Amino acid sequence: MQRYRDLSGNPAAMIALAHPTRLALLELLGAEGPLTASQAGKRLHESPGTMSWHLRLLARHGFVVEAEGGRGRRRPWTVAALGTRWDPQPRSEPERAAADLLSSIVVERAVAELRAWLAARHAAPPAWQRAAAVSDWTLYLTAGEVEALRAEIYRLLEQFADRMEDPARRPAGAAAVRALISIFPPDIATPDGTVP
C-alpha cells in the first residue's frame, strides 16, 4: 500500500474525491481496515446501495481496491493509499478548478469537525481537553521559509503515519486525531488573483 497518492495532473480523480461522503468513506476504511458496502453504510448512516456506488467510483479512480475475502455484495474494500496530495500550483485550468473544489471540500469538512469538537470538548476526558489545541499565529516569513516550515510540520506528522497502516502499532489510548494545517499569506493576493 502506498503512503500517499499524488493527484497532481489528475483533475478527474480530484473531482471524484471531492465529495464529503467519499472523503468520510476513505477515512473510515483507512482507520478500520477493509469493510463491505453494508458495513461502511451502517457506520456512515448511508444505504448499502449508496455506499456501493461511492466505492465503485473511488475504485475507478484508484482510491480503493477490493480486499481479500468475500464475493459479490459481501466483498470488502480497502484503501489503496493512506493519504492524498495534490500540487499547490496546478498546471492547467481543469486541474486548477478540480484542485480548488477538492481543497474547498476538504477545508469545509475539517472546519465542521473542528466546530463539533469545540461544541463538545467539555465532555471529553480531561487529558484530551488538555492535549487538544487551537491556535492562531501571525508570522513574518519569506515564501522559502514557509516551504521549509511546511516541510518540517509534515515530517513531524509523518512519523506517526505507520499507525494508520498498521493498527497494531497504535498505543493503548490512541485516538484518531485531526491536524488541520493552513499556512498562507492572507494579504498577498488581490481579489482578481494578481499579486500586488
> d(Cα 150, Cα 182) in Å, to the nearest integer?
9
Kindly give, in sequence order, each residue whose CB lies less than 8 Å from that of residue 10, ignoring residues fewer than 6 positions away. 95
Residue 194 clears pLDDT 70, i.e. is over it: no
DSSP string, the chain: -EEEEE-TT-HHHHHHH-SHHHHHHHHHHHHH--B-HHHHHHHHT--HHHHHHHHHHHHHTTSEEEPSS--GGG--EEESEEEEE--SS-SSHHHHHHHHHHHHHHHHHHHHHHHHHHHHGGGS-HHHHHH-----------HHHHHHHHHHHHHHHHTTTHHHH-GGGSPTT------------TTTS-TTS---
Residue pLDDT, tens place only, 5-15: 889 999 999 99
> Domain of 195?
124-196
Of 46-60, 75-89, 133-147, the least confident:
75-89
- Is there a domain that residue 171 lies in? yes
How does the average pLDDT of the chain come out, rounded?
89
CA angle 134, 175, 104 (to 5 degrees): 50
- Is there a domain that residue 148 lies in? yes
Residue pLDDT, tens place only, 82-116: 788 888 788 899 999 999 999 999 999 999 999 99
What confidence score (pLDDT) does residue 69 get? 74
- Same domain? For 9 and 71 the reply is yes
Residue 196 clears pLDDT 80, i.e. is over it: no
- Same domain? For 5 and 92 the reply is yes
Written as nine digits, the cell of 188 is 498577498
Total of domains in the chain: 2
- Same domain? For 91 and 152 the reply is no
Over its C-alpha atoms, the chain yields an Rg (Å, rounded) of 19
- Is there a domain that residue 34 lies in? yes
- Same domain? For 155 and 103 the reply is no
pTM, whole model, 2 decimals?
0.81
What confidence score (pLDDT) does residue 164 get? 80
User: Mean per-residue pLDDT for 111-124?
Assistant: 94
- Is there a domain that residue 115 lies in? no
- Is there a domain that residue 41 lies in? yes
Residue carrying the nine cell digits 497502516: 165
| Residues 94/101, Cβ–Cβ less than 8 Å | no
- Is there a domain that residue 12 lies in? yes
Name the nearest CA neighbour of 165 among 23, 24, 33: 33
What confidence score (pLDDT) does residue 88 get? 76
Written as nine digits, the cell of 183 is 499556512
Residue 66 φ/ψ, nearest 5 degrees: -70, 135
- Is there a domain that residue 113 lies in? no
- Is there a domain that residue 117 lies in? no
